[in-house]
């Protein structure tokens, strides 16, 4: 009896190479005439014809039936063989297989247009990111399609959240109260007036 020992590295290499074959197959790969399997390298096709095609498996894993869709890596994390994502707990991987892996996101946030595969995750996103509960929002901003933080009061948008918060605290809806003593131009912030004085006068 022969025992084949596969390390995590060999399994991942096999997993990655199979992804390369299926994802980059452009009609130039070598194809098996018997079963139709395609290979990027001719040597891989030769090995397939010689050892695998139409033959029953000779070696059996001593730990499982070989029907699993995951492996456990060196850190004890459960790795999905379809997409490579890993989880600490097996139940999270099972949920991933059932609801997420290979499924197109179909639930869309009507505020920032981000898409989700599950409705409960969308609802969680709306509550956490937009503070939307029963059609009303506690937040005074949204994140738009480009990922910019947009003020709901005046529609000014910023790349960084702290710039938006500074805008809402010091600028938005605030009457300018700092006046330049030279040109009478008004500013909402004292430091902006100082920059004006240094740069213009």
Instruction: Give the β-pairing of 157-158 and 141-143.
Output: unpaired
Q: Does 147 share its domain with 89?
A: no
Q: Which residue has the higher pLDDT, 7 or 72?
A: 72
Cβ burial of 195 (10 Å; 0-12, 13-18, 19+) is: exposed
Q: Does 46 share its domain with 124?
A: no
The share of the chain scoring above pLDDT 90, in percent, equals 6
Q: Does 111 share its domain with 77?
A: no
| pLDDT at residue 124, as a whole number | 83
Q: Which of 83, 90, 55, 71 is nearest to 9 (CA)?
A: 71
pLDDT tens, position by position, 94-118: 888 888 888 888 898 877 788 898 8
- Work out the number of other CB atoms within 10 angstroms of the CB of residue 51: 9
pLDDT tens, position by position, 8-37: 444 444 444 443 333 333 445 677 888 877
| pLDDT at residue 14, as a whole number | 44
Q: What is the pTM of this model?
A: 0.33
Residue 180 has pLDDT above 90, yes or no: yes
Q: How far is Cα 77 from Cα 85, in angstroms, rounded to an integer?
A: 10
Considering the domain boundaries, does residue 69 fall inside one?
yes
Name the pLDDT band for 5 (thresholds 50, 70, 90).
very low
Considering the domain boundaries, does residue 21 fall inside one?
yes
């Amino acid at each position: 009896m022969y025992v084949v020992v596969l390390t995590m590295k060999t399994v991942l290499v096999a997993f990655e190479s199979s992804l390369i074959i299926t994802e980059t197959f452009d009609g130039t790969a070598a194809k098996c005439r018997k079963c139709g399997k395609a290979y990027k390298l001719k040597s891989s096709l030769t090995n397939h014809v010689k050892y695998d095609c139409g033959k029953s498996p000779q070696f059996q894993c001593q730990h499982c039936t070989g029907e699993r869709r995951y492996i456990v890596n060196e850190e004890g994390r459960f790795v999905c063989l379809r997409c490579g994502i890993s989880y600490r707990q097996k139940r999270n991987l099972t949920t991933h297989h059932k609801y997420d892996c290979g499924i197109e996101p179909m639930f869309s946030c009507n505020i920032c247009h981000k898409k989700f595969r599950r409705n409960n995750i969308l609802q969680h996103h709306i509550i956490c990111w937009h503070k939307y509960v029963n059609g009303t929002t506690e937040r005074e901003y949204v994140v738009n399609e480009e990922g910019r933080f947009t003020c709901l009061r005046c529609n000014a948008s910023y790349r960084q959240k702290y710039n938006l918060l500074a805008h809402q605290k010091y600028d938005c809806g605030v009457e300018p109260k700092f006046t330049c003593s030279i040109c009478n131009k008004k500013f909402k912030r004292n430091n902006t007036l100082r920059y004006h004085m240094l740069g213009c006068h």
